[in-house]
Amino acid sequence: MPATSAQPPTLVLVDDDGALRSALKFALELDGYRVQTFASGEALLEADLPARNVCLVVDENLPGMGGLDSVGALRARSQDLPALLITSHPGPGLRRRAGRMRVPIIEKPLIDDLLIRNIRWALGQTPRA
């Protein structure tokens, strides 16, 4: 790619469901994003992540370290990347904690274009969905 062309944003997708991870990766790449995938929070923390033009899309219910804990660990390292949490049936405690961390929750099942609209908002591409 020529040096003058802008790199597309990178989405960092963390979900332990391999089929969902593959399907989302495919769909998000069709939308023009570069996508890195991980099956666990621990794998995410070991990765060399881009410093800018990136958005985390993290499942809460991961084996081992959960999604919000993974985001919190990155932020403790001064990697304050925009993040979205995907989960089913979030309880009030999870909603409060995600709100304090400024991590919007996108509920599964992922329908319509809600996820992509929130990704664009998190990357500063559009107003809040």
Q: What is the pLDDT of residue 1?
A: 39
Is pTM beyond 0.85? Reply is yes
Q: What sign does the CA torsion over 86, 91, 94, 99 have?
A: positive
**Contact partners, residue 89, CB within 8 Å, separation at least 6:** 107
Tokens of 116: 């992509």
Q: In a structure prediction context, what are the per-residue pLDDT tens digits for the chain, which is 129 residues long? A: 344 458 899 999 999 999 999 999 999 999 999 999 999 999 999 999 998 999 999 999 999 999 999 999 999 999 999 999 999 999 999 999 999 999 999 999 998 899 999 999 999 988 765
Domain spanning 10-113: CATH 3.40.50.2300: yes
**95-113: per-residue pLDDT in tens?**
999 999 999 999 999 988 9
Q: What is the pLDDT of residue 40?
A: 98
Domain boundaries, the chain: 10-113
C-alpha closest to that of 122 among 44, 29, 10: 10
